[in-house]
Amino acid sequence: MARSRTGGSSALLSGKVGDVIYSITRNADGSFRQQISANPVERENPNTDAQARARMTMATIERAMFTLRDFMGTGFEGVDRGTNSVSKFSEVNYNVIKEQIEFWWDDPDGWDEYYNLPKKGQGQPRAGAYVLSQGSMKVQDALVVNGRGINDPYFVVSTSNRNGGVSLKTWLAQNSMRIGDQRVKAIFMEGVTSSYTAVVYVIIATNPNANPDVILTSSNFRKHLILNSNVPLNVIFDNSTGVLSFAFERGADYHFKCFSMYAERFRRPKGNVFLYNNSEFIPHAWYTPSDYGWQNLSNVKSSWLI
């Protein structure tokens, strides 16, 4: 089993998970980085189709582990936080991508474009239908994300349009939540170049001891809700509709182009453990991957056979 060197959501692994071997090396500046390699089955010829598929799969996962490092330390029900969760994230997503690549290998033009695959030697972050969580919670997405267009990095994440002037307990119920629950909307922002692609997230939660009877208003919502993001947002609560919205208006400052995929992770405490939903990134309904300059299997296959 792979073990962590640093622990937590930024954990780096060393050891073996399935047919993947993890190791840790240093960058030129002295910082650590994750490396992934195959547990070779066919050692005689490193350029077989099987080995090419394995290298491509591992490269895709390595980039995902870098891009989604804020999420890997939690999210898998029944799996301990930190090292074990990071290992589970890698295992689950590796198996999904491996299956997809094997299925489409002989028909690369038919590839279902749910992953922006890397060519050999490309180390930039890339979007994909990565699994963020797995669990027993059967809940629907409650946070809506809307944007302006393929070349506009602006987006808004908002809650349901119901009724204002209600208690915290009622407002949470309108958004399929209870006291102590957490919702996270994660959004793949495509960069003007691949190196700027990143995940932006919005978090809504409450303290376990929050007062369920307080009436939420535009003046007090920050006091009674836990709101967080990894980018600066304009946050507004509408008293008349009860809609809470997060507007990201500074995408150009981060060299973002637009958003391509999003996922919603739900967490509920139960005793000393957390329950999760099944969450994975899904593509923006209005555009096709080619609009973002994604590379499909037919674009990258030959580079991995060299």
Question: For 172-227, how does the pLDDT look when each residue is reduced to its tens digit (9 = 90+)?
Answer: 999 999 999 999 999 999 999 999 999 999 999 999 999 999 999 999 999 999 99
- State the angle between helix axes of 297-304 and 49-67 in degrees (0 to 180), rounded to the nearest 10: 120
Q: Cβ(298)–Cβ(108) under 8 Å?
A: yes
Q: Are residues 268 and 219 in the same domain?
A: yes
Q: Are residues 14 and 84 in the same domain?
A: yes
Two tokens at 156? 């808004």
d(CA 246, CA 259): 15
Q: Are residues 63 and 140 in the same domain?
A: no
d(CA 103, CA 175): 38
Q: Are residues 69 and 143 in the same domain?
A: no
Task: Decide if 131 is inside a domain.
Answer: no
What confidence tens digit (pLDDT) does each residue in 222-263 have?
Answer: 999 999 999 999 999 999 999 999 999 999 999 999 999 999
Phi and psi based region of residue 271 (left: phi greater than 0; alpha: psi -120 to 50; beta: remaining): left
Among 3-12, 120-129, 130-139, 172-181, the minimum mean pLDDT is found in 3-12
Q: Are residues 260 and 157 in the same domain?
A: yes
Task: Decide if 273 is inside a domain.
Answer: yes
Task: Decide if 211 is inside a domain.
Answer: yes
Q: Are residues 145 and 234 in the same domain?
A: yes
What confidence tens digit (pLDDT) does each residue in 34-47 have?
Answer: 666 555 544 555 66
* Helix/strand/coil for 60: helix
Q: Are residues 39 and 12 in the same domain?
A: yes
In this prediction, residues 59-71 reach a mean pLDDT of: 93
d(CA 201, CA 264): 9
Q: Are residues 195 and 71 in the same domain?
A: no
Q: Are residues 87 and 142 in the same domain?
A: no
Please give the mean pLDDT across all residues of the chain. Answer: 88
CA angle 249, 146, 175 (to 5 degrees): 110
Task: Decide if 130 is inside a domain.
Answer: no
The number of folded domains in the chain is 2
Which pairs with CB-CB distance under 8 Å and at least 24 residues apart come from 214-219? 214/167, 214/168, 215/165, 215/166, 215/167, 215/168, 216/164, 216/166, 216/167, 216/168, 216/171, 216/242, 217/165
Task: Decide if 288 is inside a domain.
Answer: no
Task: Decide if 183 is inside a domain.
Answer: yes
Task: Decide if 283 is inside a domain.
Answer: no
**Which uninterrupted H or E stretch holds 54?**
helix 49-67
pLDDT-derived band at 6 (thresholds 50, 70, 90) equals: very low
Cβ-in-10-Å burial (0-12, 13-18, 19+) of 206 comes to buried
In this prediction, residues 24-52 reach a mean pLDDT of: 64
Q: Could you tell me which residues come within 8 angstroms of residue 257 by beta carbon, excluding any fewer than 6 positions away? A: 150, 151, 153, 189, 190, 191, 192, 292
Q: Are residues 78 and 40 in the same domain?
A: yes
Q: What is the largest CA-CA distance in the chain?
A: 70
Task: Decide if 95 is inside a domain.
Answer: yes
Two tokens at 226? 């836990």
* Helix/strand/coil for 29: coil
Q: Are residues 161 and 119 in the same domain?
A: no
Q: What pLDDT shows up at residue 96?
A: 95
**Which uninterrupted H or E stretch holds 265?**
strand 256-270
Q: Per DSSP, which regions of 104-240 are E strands?
A: 131-133, 144-149, 152-158, 182-191, 198-205, 226-229, 234-237
d(CA 194, CA 239): 40
Q: Which residue range(s) make up the domain with 259? A: 136-277
Q: Are residues 216 and 106 in the same domain?
A: no
Backbone angles phi and psi of 191, in degrees to 5? -85, 165
d(CA 131, CA 24): 23
